[in-house]
Chains A and B, each alone.
Chain A
Amino acid sequence: MPLSRRTLLKSAAAGAVSTWTPAPGLSLFAAAAQPSERPLLVIVHLRGGADGLNLVSPATDSDFIAARTSELRVAADGPGAGYALANGPDPKIDFRLHAAAGGIAELYQSGVLAIVHAAGLTDGTRSHFVATDMIERGIADEASLARIRDGWLARYLQIDPAARAEAGAISAAGAVSGELVGWKPALAVPDLAGGLAPAGGPQAHEVLTRLYASAGDPVCDAGRAALAAMATIDRAVPRDARGAVIPYSPEAGASYDTAAEFGRPLKTLAQLIKMDLGLDVATVDIGGWDTHEYQPGRFRNAVTRLSNGLAAFWNDTTRYHDRMVVVTVSEFGRRLRSNRSMGTDHGRAGVMMVLGAKVKGGRFHGGWPGLSNARLDEGVDLAVVTDYRQVLTEILRHRGALPASHVFPGYVEKGPLGLFGA
């Protein structure tokens, strides 16, 4: 078995080796980094199909200006002008970040955030739910959906000798995100404000432990897993002398309040990170992007939450910057031409962002197809130039060796974007 001696020893010490069974015939990550060494991966889902063209606008592109009402574009000048972005993908075009994205602009300018525009699914679906399923499962063809039910992160963890059984993979949400479906130890923890012990105190915990003792039934298994995870995490929740949970206070003056409902899962995530339980991969959702009507106000709100949230999270976790990569993903972008509800309908390519101290930030990666009719997908939407899996592949590789064909079956790399390193 190609496990290094060091990996074995460390895993055995952590008591984790028995939980891992290698899939037959797979070459394992011989050089897999330990969770403590490799960066924590945070996936931020922009659910609903975020309008990449309104988040990062090709502000001076004449095709763009002709196709869209000015309320749904970021302006290059005037009072509502957006943030100028150096190092865009096309030197003839002034790419501008939405005016409500001040936090993201700062991260970009400080060189830790990279933008990949015209990114997305190569499959032509304009369905939220088909697109979301494909992106969560790491595939790009509908035929595979019936065959491949696991999430891509689950497949990654299944063959990862360093994967942790306990509190290593968490969705800061009510349910485990699709990327982690199929990885049994994955947890869904939406909130830690009241700790994570069961209501009813030690007696309830004892009764539940006995009620859920028998193995084999999925609900019993889930109950047992929940009790174990609750105990592990609850032990690490800071409490005062009387046992009450100490309210979390972010570092460096960061405030999650300005991120509205996006703040809560991010705060939960920051708390989990600082418990040093060995969190290795995490997912968090932000909704509000399905802007079929009244986009100017709704989109501004969504961008404000996203930008403030990412900035607060980054500032709050300074000690972990070298050990963290955050990536944003959305199921698709939106139609180039706006509708008469002052909104945009489902489109194709969107924008992805990658944040991390080791990221080659402050610049765009990947190409820009242009918006002339001939360059559009089916004549209506921004075409996909960068497969979303290329971005994810480079992030995983940055974390250690990667059997990409297992995580993203059928994906053939088209040449690196160079998101990390030289």
Chain B
Amino acid sequence: MAEPSMVSDPASPSYVLARLGYGPKPGDAAAFQRQGLAGWLDQQLRPPHGDDADTAAALARARLRIVYEGVDDMRPLATLDQPIEKLWPLIAEHDKHAPQERRRPLLETISSTLIRAVHSRYQLREVMCSFWHDHFNVDAWGAEPVAVALPSYDRDVIREHCLGNFRTLLESVATSTAMLYYLSNRSSRAGAANENYGRELFELHTLGRDAYLNDKYDRWREVPGALKGHPAGYIDEDVYESARAFTGWTVEDGSAIDGGRKLPATGRFAYVESWHDGYQKRVLATDFNEFQPPLADGKRVLDLVADHPATARFLCSKLVRRLVADDPPPRLVAAAAATWSQNRRAPDQIAKVVRAIVLSPEFIEAQRAKIRRPFALVAGFARATGLDLMPTEPLINAMAGAGQRLFGYPDPTGLADDRDHFIGTGAMRVRWQLVLALALNQWATGEWSPDAAMPPSIETVGEAAQFWLDTLTGQAPPDQVAAILGGMGVMQDQPLGPRQAPDSDKRLSLVAAYAAMSPAFQTS
């Protein structure tokens, strides 16, 4: 008789909940064990619209400080549910508002993102929102209109479609104020179109750089498959022609259209026919007739790129890189791309692809394969410890110092996903500082009692170190316990001391912080 298998459930809760979420809260692991991976996943892939009750309550009690001449308030998050035209006076009447007010929608969106990551029951939705924010990156720190448009970009574009249909998401991005500013299509005009959006649409949003056949430049007939209407990739001419197709896609920013007309200043999407280049075009070996109805040229480009097989491969390889490993396993990318293409008209196309990726053998084998980015370190620490995290500017800036300025990556590639980007000397130093400062509440992110978070049965520092390593990383190897105790110069069986005493509370906070500074907490 064979020995009963000692292998634990391959989908260990600490792995899945840290990879497809921001780590377990107390009680999450047991709940996950009861559901199993597939059951948990199905629930995560069909979140109800809006926030769950706990998250809504956390958002409602959040206060974010605002300080400028004559003002010093702890103010609730008031911009998140506002339509863009309600916030747009911050731009349209620029000089009536302090810079801190113009930046407020950005800081509130950062806060809500952190609060949702810490509290939401629908953790996978938060991970997918982060994925799409990276994929369809905008830099809200670099331009005030993008900062003011960020709540609606997060709410109506990314959050709305993060598990939905890619083609729908793509058009939602293309018509979003944030993207129209960030990739400057807003100012593109017939005559000499601005290529910024057109180029990144192909290279970063859809087909990907591997499908860029730059040596063909304008020789579209030489692109394999082009003469049959199925070009294998894109060329510079496709970029130029697409740029023409999107002329006239702009923002109601108060600009003059002609001598007698002017756009209103609402910040909403607008199509201005007289700015559109209506003449015939050819994109991806497909002819566009001249003078199509409003928006038709741009939408047709979106259809072509969304349906292209290279887009399925590129997007799936990015999804696998995020959800599985820095070097995406080719078999899994191909399988996910097949699911992607089969479901390209499905309203839950993205959810189906995520499901196919997660329920693969490659996913189970990829434990500890991914670095936790600074945001995930912070959210994961708060979840595991029960810290009711209140975002503050020092915290936001420290995450930036560790390599992740939320909604502030300047290049349209979006923030990298791979390990090496986050483990340089300066970045490691700030990673360690992040959890230490949270544990000791050095940045006013919330008081926290480690004692209250621990079961009363724990009586020694050694047991506390074991408890925190296990809670944070799902394991407590003896060498790591010994490292914490040895570095602190205490013995394994040293008693914790009187409960709730400030000294022992601080020491316990340090134990928890050191556990979060360990190598195992740096990855998921």
**Of B215, B411, B426, B488, which one neighbours A124 at CB under 8 angstroms?**
B215
* Interface assignment of A100: CB less than 8 Å from any CB of chain B: no
Tell which of B341-349, B358-366, B431-439 binds the partner. B431-439
Produce 1/0 per residue, B388-429, CB < 8 A to A.
000000000000010100000011010000011111111111
A225 close to B371 (CB less than 8 A): no
- Contact A207:B517 (CB < 8 A) given known A127-B199, A219-B523: yes
B194 close to A341 (CB less than 8 A): yes
**Interface centre among A48, A125, A127, A212, by most B CB within 10 Å?**
A127
Produce 1/0 per residue, A138-168, CB < 8 A to B.
0000100000000000000000000000000
- Contact A292:B419 (CB < 8 A) given known A130-B212, A343-B184: no
- Contact A124:B217 (CB < 8 A) given known A211-B514, A211-B517, A337-B192: yes
Interface of B is mostly: helix
B483 close to A213 (CB less than 8 A): yes
B486 close to A210 (CB less than 8 A): yes
A339 close to B424 (CB less than 8 A): no
Q: Which residues of A contact B429 (CB under 8 A)?
A: 196, 198-199, 226, 230
When C-beta atoms are compared, the residue in chain B nearest to A172 turns out to be: B426
B487 close to A203 (CB less than 8 A): yes
- Contact A211:B196 (CB < 8 A) given known A174-B403, A191-B426: no
* Interface assignment of A187: CB less than 8 Å from any CB of chain B: yes
Closest beta carbon of chain B to A63's beta carbon, Å: 17
Q: Which residues of B contact A188 (CB under 8 A)?
A: 424-427
* Interface assignment of A244: CB less than 8 Å from any CB of chain B: no
B194 close to A226 (CB less than 8 A): no
A176 close to B410 (CB less than 8 A): no
- Contact A293:B194 (CB < 8 A) given known A200-B432, A340-B188: yes
**Of B403, B413, B427, B517, which one neighbours A208 at CB under 8 angstroms?**
B517
- Contact A223:B217 (CB < 8 A) given known A129-B203, A198-B433: no
* Interface assignment of A86: CB less than 8 Å from any CB of chain B: no
* Interface assignment of B82: CB less than 8 Å from any CB of chain A: no
**Of B196, B199, B218, B426, which one neighbours A189 at CB under 8 angstroms?**
B426
Closest beta carbon of chain A to B480's beta carbon, Å: 6
User: In the bound complex, what is the Cα–Cα distance between A217 and B479 (angstroms)?
Assistant: 15
A209 close to B214 (CB less than 8 A): no
A217 close to B519 (CB less than 8 A): yes
Produce 1/0 per residue, A115-130, CB < 8 A to B.
0000000011111111
Q: Which residues of B contact A125 (CB under 8 A)?
A: 212, 214
* Interface assignment of B459: CB less than 8 Å from any CB of chain A: no
Q: In residues 479-499 of chain B, which contact A (Cβ within 8 Å)?
A: 479-480, 482-484, 486-489
* Interface assignment of B195: CB less than 8 Å from any CB of chain A: yes
**Of A337, A338, A341, A346, which one neighbours B187 at CB under 8 angstroms?**
A341
**Of B212, B403, B486, which one neighbours A127 at CB under 8 angstroms?**
B212
Produce 1/0 per residue, A160-194, CB < 8 A to B.
00000000000100111000010000011111000
A340 close to B191 (CB less than 8 A): yes
B194 close to A378 (CB less than 8 A): no
User: In the bound complex, what is the Cα–Cα distance between A222 and B432 (angstroms)?
Assistant: 13
A126 close to B214 (CB less than 8 A): yes
Q: Which residues of A contact B419 (CB under 8 A)?
A: 218-219
Q: In residues 159-175 of chain B, which contact A (Cβ within 8 Å)?
A: none
User: In the bound complex, what is the Cα–Cα distance between A343 and B189 (angstroms)?
Assistant: 12
B191 close to A226 (CB less than 8 A): no
Q: Which residues of B contact A290 (CB under 8 A)?
A: 196
Q: Which residues of A contact B308 (CB under 8 A)?
A: none
**Of B204, B426, B483, which one neighbours A211 at CB under 8 angstroms?**
B483
User: In the bound complex, what is the Cα–Cα distance between A189 and B203 (angstroms)?
Assistant: 31
- For the complex of A and B, the 3 pairs showing the least CB-CB separation, nearest first, are A188-B424, A207-B487, A210-B483
Given contacts A48-B411, A293-B196, list 9 more A-B pairs with CB under 8 A: A125-B214, A174-B424, A188-B424, A199-B436, A207-B487, A211-B517, A214-B479, A219-B419, A230-B425
